[in-house]
Structure 1
Amino acid sequence: MVRIDRVTTRGGDGGETSLGDGTRIAKTDPRIAALGAVDEVNAVIGVLRTHTRHDADADAMLARIQNDLFDLGADLCVPGQNGDRLRMTEGPILRLEAEIEAMRALVPPLRSFVLPGGTDAAAHAHLARVVARRAERDTLAVEAVNPAAAIYLNRLSDHLFLLARLMNDCGAADIVWIPGANR
C-alpha cells in the first residue's frame, strides 16, 4: 500500500525528481513529460466525471480508466521491465476495445469529421481525448517504454471520442466539419 507522509519534500527544487526506483532524473526528461501528460488526462477525466454522476455506466467506465491511468503511471515511473513492478498489460486494453465496440454500435456512422463540442459533457470528453493523444505521443518518446502503455493510450483516445458522441445524444448533437464552409 502507498503511504505519503509529506507532500513538500524540497527534493525537486534543483530541477530533478525521483522515479519509482529512486533514480534521480531531470524534470525535463521525456519520461517526466509522459508522466505529466498521463496525470493531466486523468485530471481531465476527473472533470468529465462531474458530468456522469447520473450515468452509472459511463461513470464506472471512467472510474476504471482513472485507475488504469495510475497503473500506467506506475509503469512509466520505473524504467525497465522488472517483473516485480506494476506494468500495463493487455487486459485493460482489451476492456477498452470491448467498450469501444459497444459504444460504436450505439452511434450512426460518420459522414464527416466531428468538431469538438456539443454538450458540456461531450466537450470535456473531447478535451480528455486530445490530452490522451498527447500522452500517447509523450509516452512513445520515452526510451524502452512498455509498448502496452502507448497502446492503452491510443485506445483510450478512441474510447473518449465515442463517449463524446454518446454524450452528444448518440451523435445527434455532434458538430460536423463542413470542408471549406467559410471560404
Structure 2
Amino acid sequence: MGFRLSKIYTRTGDKGETGLGDGRRVAKDHPRVEAIGEVDTLNSQLGLLLAGLAEESVRHPALEEVIAVLAPCQHRLFDLGGELAMPAYQALNVAEIERLEAAIDLWNEELGPLENFILPGGSSLIAQAHVCRALARGAERRCQQLNAVEPLAGPGLAYINRLSDLLFVTARVIARRQGVAEVLWVAAAKPEG
C-alpha cells in the first residue's frame, strides 16, 4: 500500500467544508461528517481502553481474551468510517456482527444474569469500557440520523449497535476478571409527603 497522506494540511477545509471519499464537498457539520466524527471518537477511546487492558493484563492475564475480542473492532470501526466517507464502499459484513454476538453470548454465560442496574466505575478500565459503550450509542445515533436523510447500505448500523452491546458486557467481564465489584445503582430515597 502506498502513501495515503503526503501533506497533512491542505487548507481546503478552512471555510467549513470537507471532502468525502466520493469527491463530494460537504459542510463540516453535515450528518455524514458528524457520523464519521463520532465513529472516530469511539475508535480513539477504544484505543485508550485497549492500551489500559494491555497494561493490566500483566497482572490479570484473563484480560488477554478481552483484548483479542476488542482489537479487531478498531479496524472495523475504521472500515465503518470508510463506508461513511465513501457511500459506495462496502467493507463490513455480517460475519463480524456474528463474531461480536458470539463473544457477548460467551461472556454472558460467564457473568450470569444481570440483577441490578450498574454504574460506570469500580476501576478505570471498567469506567473506560462504559465510556466506549456510551460513545458507541452516540455514534449509532449519528449514523441513524444520517440514515434518515441518506440511507446507509450494508450492516453498519447493526454493527455499531452490537458493538455497544459488546462494550457493556466488556465492562462487566473486566470487573469480573479484575476481581472488582460492580458499582450497583441505588435509587434515590423517595421524598416523604
**TM-score higher than 0.5:** yes
User: What corresponds to 2:15 in structure 1?
Assistant: 14
User: What corresponds to 1:144 in structure 2?
Assistant: 151
How high is the TM-score relative to the length of structure 2? 0.87
2:103 is the alignment partner of 1:99 = yes
- RMSD (Å) for aligned C-alpha atoms: 1.7
Per-residue CA deviations over 1:6-56 (Å, capped at 9, x if unaligned) read 111111101000111111111010000000000000000011012211232
For 2:153, the aligned partner's letter is: N
User: What corresponds to 1:34 in structure 2?
Assistant: 35
Alignment of 1:1-183 (within 5 A): 1=1, 3-53=4-54, 54=57, 55-79=63-87, 82=88, 85-142=89-146, 143-146=150-153, 148-169=155-176, 173-181=181-189
Structure (1/2) with the larger helix percentage = 2
Segments of 5+ residues of structure 1 without an aligned counterpart are none
Tell me how many residue pairs correspond in the alignment: 179
User: Larger Rg: 1 or 2?
Assistant: 2
Secondary structure of 1:154's counterpart equals helix
Segments of 5+ residues of structure 2 without an aligned counterpart are 58-62
CA positional deviation for 1:148: 1.2
Distance in 2, Cα, partners of 1:169 & 1:182: 32
Secondary structure of 2:71's counterpart equals helix
How high is the TM-score relative to the length of structure 1? 0.91
Distance in 1, Cα, partners of 2:98 & 2:40: 22
For 1:123, the aligned partner's letter is: A
For 2:137, the aligned partner's letter is: R
Per-residue CA deviations over 1:57-98 (Å, capped at 9, x if unaligned) read 21122210000000111111112xx3xx23322111111111
C-alpha contact (below 8 Å) 1:88/1:146 kept by paired residues:
no
Secondary structure of 1:17's counterpart equals strand
For 1:67, the aligned partner's letter is: H
Percent of aligned pairs sharing the same letter: 41
Distance in 2, Cα, partners of 1:7 & 1:166: 39
C-alpha contact (below 8 Å) 1:115/1:177 kept by paired residues:
yes
For 2:159, the aligned partner's letter is: Y
